[in-house]
């Protein structure tokens, strides 16, 4: 191998090593900020550690919303119509939050299997449902393309159909 080829090879290897190190640093720094979306069924099946931040999405289960006396703590269950997971949230809920509607709660799973949410997001109109929630409902066989809402009565609707 000539000195010129050896020099090119050394530069190429050094460049690849630098790119690899940069990619490793980027992935390492993003690791703490990654939040995985899970359906209630996946939360129960995978049981992520309490240190891992997750987003759980689904529907607020009918009859499960309980507010504390001071009104700052809310407990409810999120369901994908197969499994439901209890969620506790300290704070003010979005105005559109209600039973039977789509919701995404971001927080940490507790030792007892519940989720302590740091943030709760509610859907913004009658037809919107987060993409991940729709996919989870489709996977469970509870959602059909074109349905405005999953089957079942919902507050403000008649028989599950939007007015």
Q: Name the DSSP class of 51.
A: T
SS3 31: helix
What number is the average pLDDT over the span 97-107?
Answer: 88
Domain positions in the chain: 1-33, 36-139
Residue, of 67 and 147, whose pLDDT is higher: 67
pLDDT digits (tens, 9 = 90+) for 106-145: 999 898 889 999 999 886 655 556 677 777 777 777 666 6
Question: In the chain, what is the straight-line distance between the N-terminal and C-terminal CA atoms, in Å?
Answer: 78
Contact between 54 and 115 under an 8 Å Cβ cutoff? The reply is: yes
CA distance 151 to 28: 43
SS3 92: coil
pLDDT digits (tens, 9 = 90+) for 17-48: 999 999 988 888 776 666 678 889 888 888 88
CATH match for 36-139 among 2.40.50.140, 1.10.3720.10, 2.60.40.10, 3.20.20.70: 2.40.50.140
For residue 37, list its beta bridge partners.
Answer: 55
The answer to whether 124 is a known ligand-binding residue is yes
The answer to whether 154 is a known ligand-binding residue is no
- Does 158 have pLDDT greater than 50? no
Single pTM value for the model: 0.61
CA R_g for the chain: 23
pLDDT of residue 129: 65
The confidence band for 151, taking pLDDT boundaries of 50, 70 and 90, is very low
Collect all residues with Cβ–Cβ distance below 8 Å to 48 and sequence separation of at least 6. Answer: 36, 38, 54, 109
CA atoms within 13 A on the CB side of 114: 12
pLDDT of residue 125: 54
pLDDT digits (tens, 9 = 90+) for 40-90: 988 888 888 888 888 898 889 899 999 988 878 999 999 988 889 999 999
pLDDT of residue 127: 58
């Amino acid at each position: 191998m000539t000195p010129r080829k050896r020099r090119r090879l050394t530069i190429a290897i050094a460049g690849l090593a630098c790119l690899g190190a940069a990619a490793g640093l980027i992935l390492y720094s993003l690791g703490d900020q990654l939040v995985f979306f899970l359906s209630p069924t996946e939360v129960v099946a995978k049981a992520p550690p309490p240190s891992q931040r997750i987003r759980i999405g689904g529907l607020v289960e009918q009859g499960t919303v309980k507010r504390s006396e001071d009104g700052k703590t809310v407990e409810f269950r999120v369901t994908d119509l197969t499994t439901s997971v209890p969620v506790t949230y300290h704070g003010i809920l979005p105005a559109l939050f209600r039973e039977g509607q789509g919701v995404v709660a971001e927080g940490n799973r507790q030792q007892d299997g519940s989720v302590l949410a740091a943030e709760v997001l509610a859907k913004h109109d009658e037809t919107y449902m987060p993409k991940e929630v729709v996919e989870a409902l489709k996977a469970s066989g509870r959602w059909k393309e074109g349905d405005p809402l999953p089957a079942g009565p919902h507050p403000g609707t008649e028989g599950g159909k939007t007015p």
